[in-house]
Structures are given as C-alpha cells and as structure tokens.
Amino acid sequence: MRLGVLDIGSNTVHLLLVDAHPGGRPVPFASHKKPLSLVTYLDAAGNISREGQDELVGFVQEARAFASGHRAEDFLAFCTSAIREAANGSEVLARVRAETGVDLQELSGDQEAAVTFQAVRRWYGWGSESILNLDIGGGSFEMAMGTDELPAVALSVPLGAGRLTRDWLPEDPPSAKSAKKLRRYIREVLNDAVPQFSHLGSPHLVAGTSKTFRSLARLTGAAPSAAGPFVRRELRRTDLTLWTKRLAAMSSADRANLDGVSELRAPQVLAGALVAECALELFGVESMEICPWALREGLLLRRFDTKMFDAEEPLTGAGVGHSQLDVIRRTPVSEGV
C-alpha cells in the first residue's frame, strides 16, 4: 500500500509518500516539502499570525492533493513544537481541520523522542542491544534510551537549534560573549536532564537523527546524502569540537557554502553544534552513528504495526512517564480533495 505522512516541523513542512506493507520495509516513493519556519510568524503574545496560518493551510491543501494525485491509500499528519508551543496552537489546528479536512495530530516532546527511538531500533535491530538516540529539532532536543522496542527513558528539552539561535545568537556572526552565554545555558539544561539516564548504564550504540546531525556529520567528512541511506555515517566528538569553533567565527552566508549546510539552516547550525557537543560530552560519548530513519519513519512503522495487529501499543517502555497516543489518527485522502 502507499501511505503518506505529513510532518509540520519548526523549519520545514514535509510530505513523504512510501510504499510498504505490514512487516515490510517502507520504501520512499515521492516527497513534497517547503521551507516554512512558523516561529518567524509568532507575534509578541506567542500567537501564529494570520499570514503564517495562511501559509500552513495552503501547504496542507497542497500536500493532501499531492497524496491523492499519487494514489496514497492512507494519510497521517502530525505537528511538533512549532504549533505545540504557540499560544493559539489549538485554534490553528482547528482552522487547518476546518479548511483542509486534515486532522493534524499534536505530538508531545517525549512522544517525539519515543517514536523516533522506535524507528532507530528498527533500523539497527536487536543486535545493537542498548541504544541512546539524540535528535536536535528546530524547537526542541529529544533524548531516548533503552534496550527494547520502545525506550526506558524519553525526554525532550527546549534546546532546538532554531529556538536557541533566535533567543541567544542575535548577531551574525555571533559575538564570543553570546556564544559563551549559550554554551552555559545548554549545559545548565542538560546537567538536569542527562543524569536521568544514568541508571541505564552505558549504551552499546549512540545514534543521531535529524537534519542537524546529518549536517554536522557531513561537515566532519561523512558521505553526502546522494550516497544513499545504507552508507555508514559517523560523527566524532573531536571533529565536532573543531567544527564548532570554526562555525562560531563564520557568518551565516559563509556557513551556507559549506558541504551539507543549506541556506535555510545556516543561521542555526552553530546552535545545533553546541547542543550536540555538550550532549556528547555529558553522556561520555566519543562518536555516534547517523541514522537515516527518524520521526516520520517511526510513525509509519507504528501505522503498519497497527494494521498488522489491529491494536495500538502504548508509546512507552518501562519508566517512560508520558501518555500513549490513543490511535494514530489518519485522514482518508479521498475526502474533500
């Protein structure tokens, strides 16, 4: 069957269509995406402006038509921190539902961490034993660890690369003082979060998901995306530390000329590098693998599991204190298109 998953993120809105069946590997068929930073449309009260809502509604309509035109049989849609933390987030979701017929499912930060972990577990398999997964988004930073299909601990903290750039790095290039203050803040937040994983011991595998980790790995010499998903990519802390210093001395325009760094993400790659560097240090990690599967694939896998077993397992392993997703809600693509 062909299934679409629509991801409303902090930096981009992305529809991915895959072909798969229960128990089978999802194979990408087509995608449709657009840069859309909803946080840039926030007013002083934290509301997404009418203009930002119009952009979002327009893309969701495009995405649904794209899915229908490519004969998708099932359609999932979700949103993360950009809408979750907006003061008028519920009103925005209601407007999208009324004008497009698409029910955007709002994921909490720890649900993001848990579903992404599940995708990473499927990619690496049971032979990897204990896995620690790290994911740097635009608005938040997710961490999850465990030995099972779902993590024993899943946490989300407000250390997204876009958020930190907006709040802490106003200059371009950033001043040494701003970068130092941001480093200190990141460490304060992670000093509270990382010890919550200590009882799980040392992981056998450390993985990184998200565009930020892929960009950082590419900067340090990993294979380009054109080489395909099955090429092993690694990010070493010593290389990351060197590149973090280089990025801090560069303007956004200069960073955009680097391998693996797009113009859209060039302003925030330094903040992402600072988060990654601090996290690897506090977890005592010297190197990590870059996993090609992440949140979108995790939701797809859960959808196929649901179809196979006709039951939805909770998004929680032992010790994960968040609520489950009652159902992965979906929108029939034939309705209203």
Going by their DSSP bridges, the two strands 141-146 and 131-136 should be labelled as antiparallel
Report the Cα–Cα distance between both ends of the chain, in Å, rounded. Answer: 19
At which of 66, 91, 108 does a domain end? 108
Compute the distance between CA of residue 91 and CA of residue 75 in angstroms, rounded to an integer: 22
Q: Say whether both 77 and 51 belong to one domain.
A: yes
Which residues fall within 8 angstroms of residue 27, CB to CB, at 6 or more apart?
Answer: 18, 19, 20
**pLDDT at residue 323, rounded to an integer:** 37
Q: CA nearest 17: which of 56, 70, 60, 59?
A: 70
Residues 117 and 150: beta-carbon distance below 8 Å: yes
**pLDDT at residue 333, rounded to an integer:** 60
The pTM of the full predicted model, rounded to 2 decimals, is 0.89
Whether the per-residue pLDDT at 215 is higher than 60: the answer is yes
Compute the distance between CA of residue 268 and CA of residue 96 in angstroms, rounded to an integer: 28
Q: Say whether both 127 and 166 belong to one domain.
A: yes
Q: Structurally, how many domains does the chain consist of?
A: 2
> Tell me, what amino acid is at 293?
W
- Phi-psi map region of 43: left, alpha, beta (phi>0 left; psi -120 to 50 alpha): beta
Q: Which residue has the higher pLDDT, 75 or 268?
A: 268
Count of CB atoms situated within 10 Å of the CB of 289? 21
Query: Does a structural domain hold residue 27?
Result: yes
Compute the distance between CA of residue 253 and CA of residue 333 in angstroms, rounded to an integer: 40
Nearest 5°: phi and psi at 138?
-75, -35
Q: For residue range 247-306, what is the model confidence (pLDDT) as tens digits?
A: 999 999 999 999 999 998 999 999 999 999 999 999 999 999 999 999 999 998 888 776
Q: Across the chain, what does the average pLDDT equal?
A: 90
Compute the distance between CA of residue 183 and CA of residue 271 in angstroms, rounded to an integer: 9
Q: For residue range 49-66, what is the model confidence (pLDDT) as tens digits?
A: 999 999 999 999 999 999
Q: Three-state DSSP class for 23?
A: coil
Q: Say whether both 124 and 243 belong to one domain.
A: yes
Q: Say whether both 168 and 272 belong to one domain.
A: yes
**pLDDT at residue 304, rounded to an integer:** 77
Q: CA nearest 274: which of 190, 218, 156, 195?
A: 190
Query: Does a structural domain hold residue 85?
Result: yes
Stretch 92-98: mean pLDDT, rounded?
96
Q: Which domain holds residue 125?
A: 109-290
Q: Say whether both 104 and 174 belong to one domain.
A: no
Q: Which two tokens stand for residue 288?
A: 């990590």
Compute the distance between CA of residue 304 and CA of residue 307 in angstroms, rounded to an integer: 5
Residue 141: alpha-carbon gap to chain centroid:
8
Q: Say whether both 98 and 238 belong to one domain.
A: no
Nearest 5°: phi and psi at 29?
-110, -50
Query: Does a structural domain hold residue 262?
Result: yes
Q: Say whether both 75 and 220 belong to one domain.
A: no
CATH of the domain at 132: 3.30.420.150
Compute the distance between CA of residue 52 and CA of residue 266 in angstroms, rounded to an integer: 22
Q: Say whether both 130 and 100 belong to one domain.
A: no
CATH of the domain at 49: 3.30.420.40
Q: Say whether both 64 and 89 belong to one domain.
A: yes
Query: Does a structural domain hold residue 303?
Result: no
Q: Say whether both 30 and 161 belong to one domain.
A: no
Q: For residue range 138-176, what is the model confidence (pLDDT) as tens digits?
A: 999 999 999 999 999 999 999 999 999 999 999 999 999
Compute the distance between CA of residue 336 and CA of residue 157 in angstroms, rounded to an integer: 37
Q: Say whether both 116 and 10 belong to one domain.
A: no
Whether the per-residue pLDDT at 322 is higher than 50: the answer is no
Whether the per-residue pLDDT at 318 is higher than 60: the answer is no
Going by their DSSP bridges, the two strands 234-236 and 287-290 should be labelled as antiparallel
Residue identified by tokens 């601990």 is 153
- % the chain with pLDDT above 90: 77
Q: Say whether both 254 and 125 belong to one domain.
A: yes
Length of the chain measured in residues: 337
At which of 56, 91, 108 does a domain end? 108
Q: Three-state DSSP class for 4?
A: strand
Nearest 5°: phi and psi at 156?
-130, 135
